[in-house]
Structure 1
Amino acid sequence: MSTDFAAARLNMVESQIRTADVTDLPLQDALRVVARESVVPASKAYLAYADADIEYAPGRWLLRPREVGKLLQALKPREGETVLAIAAPYAAAVLEKMGLSVTRHDGEDLKTVPAGAYDVIVCEGAVAVAPKSWQDALAHGGRLGVVERTGPVGRAAIYLRAEDGVGRRAAFDASPPLLAGFEAETGFSF
């Protein structure tokens, strides 16, 4: 039995993306055509459009469709901008389809980022807190989107670089698995 991925993509946009108030039309258009099944192992392709966390490599996870849609919309990507996609193969493909110039960073040391000043930085896995190196890589007016999680439920955070530094706002609740190496540091509290 083969899966009709084109139909699954359309169903994902109609039942998981649009119902989550993702109203950005260029983003919806890109989500309708980018093959999510192409960024997961063939043995997990049948899960590509499910409302599920999918491990695409050891310790690396794709955000659920609703969560990646909401995160990308909150980042307000615009054609021609530069993007750093950290452990974010699906988000990278969607942003490329939208006309952004994407640098993919899926190497061993995700806390160290390639040199540059990026308009958009996105990460598909959860982290306890966004590393300072990620914030430092933002261009003036640049936005960083990541889910920060220290307990059972995380919050998507949007960081914005302005003239006086980097600000942060919470966007929505999400609970993706933590990226390997980005767990909360444990210690003593008094």
Structure 2
Amino acid sequence: MDFEKARFNMIEQQIRPWNVLNQAVLDLLEVVKRENFVSTGLEKLAFTDCDLPIRVDGKDTGETMFSPKMEARVLQELELNNYDKVLEIGTGTGYMAALMAQQCAQVTTIEINPAIAKMARSNLTKNGITGVKVVDGCGFELAPSLGQFDAIVLSGASPTMPKGLLEALNPLGRLMAIVGQAPAMQLVLAKKSRDSQLISTPLFETMAKVLNNAPKANEFVF
């Protein structure tokens, strides 16, 4: 399989038409090789327009990897700077963390499944990705103890915007999350003002699996 041709077609036929026009983001998709981060045996599907299952030792974990266009759109909307500290909830294969690490100072990513976390560390090491720390555990529980971040990304859905993660944001920080309950979910960008007010902007409708231990809709009203 010609991976470079498949990568070019993915960018031109899937990602650009999905309003991803930031050239820095498009360039990253060529540099960070997606086929090196998908589960073993799925390399030829790395550029398809769909979520891919995350497998460890050939067994499905029940988790999935975002489609390429979703990853690219999230990265574009985050507008990361080289001084940003980023927290990711849900490491998956490590690909999203690898992309973000090229645009910011540091990525801390938390994965609740130890086997997936181990795989992500291996993927990041083999691809020479530095500036990423993979932490085992529940992101919703650990986030408040890890300091303040300029951006927080949920690599999955939450029925509501989680208060604990918002409190881990620096002033002017932003939180990117898929919020809602099936069949009505939206990708939402919440920005924190200097006086700790939140401005929430729905970006588009989408669907994703709810993250483990995400707050229920009746636990916090945003």
**Partner Cα separation in structure 2 for residue 172 and residue 96 of structure 1:** 25
Corresponding residue for residue 175 of structure 2: 144
Paired residue type of 2:188: A
Give the total of aligned pairs: 185
Task: Report the TM-score when normalising by structure 2.
Answer: 0.74
Paired residue type of 2:108: T
Secondary structure of the residue aligned to 1:42 is coil
Instruction: Say whether residues 1:93 and 2:122 are aligned partners.
Output: no
Corresponding residue for residue 66 of structure 2: 63
Counterparts in 2 of 1:180 and 1:7: CA distance versus 1, 3 Å: farther
Corresponding residue for residue 106 of structure 1: 111
Contact 2:160 2:217 in 1 (8 A): no
What are the equivalent positions in structure 2 for 1:1-190 lying under 5 Å apart? 3-56=1-54, 58-88=61-91, 89-107=94-112, 108-112=137-141, 113=143, 114-165=145-196, 166-182=198-214, 184=216
The offset of 1:59, in angstroms, is 4.1
Secondary structure of the residue aligned to 2:41 is helix
Secondary structure of the residue aligned to 1:104 is strand
The offset of 1:21, in angstroms, is 1.0
Counterparts in 2 of 1:49 and 1:70: CA distance versus 1, 3 Å: same
Q: Quote the sequence identity (%).
A: 28
Contact 1:59 1:179 in 2 (8 A): no
Counterparts in 2 of 1:37 and 1:179: CA distance versus 1, 3 Å: farther
Q: Which runs of 5+ in 2 are unaligned?
A: 56-60, 113-136
1:106-137 alpha-carbon deviations (Å, 9 max, x no partner): 13312121512111111221221232111111
**Partner Cα separation in structure 2 for residue 29 and residue 176 of structure 1:** 26
- Let me know the Cα RMSD of the aligned residues: 2.2
Give the number of the structure with larger relative contact order, counting CA–CA contacts within 8 Å between residues 6 or more apart.
1
Counterparts in 2 of 1:81 and 1:130: CA distance versus 1, 3 Å: same
Paired residue type of 1:168: S
Runs of 4+ displaced beyond 3 Å: 180-186
**Partner Cα separation in structure 1 for residue 3 and residue 103 of structure 2:** 20
Corresponding residue for residue 123 of structure 2: none
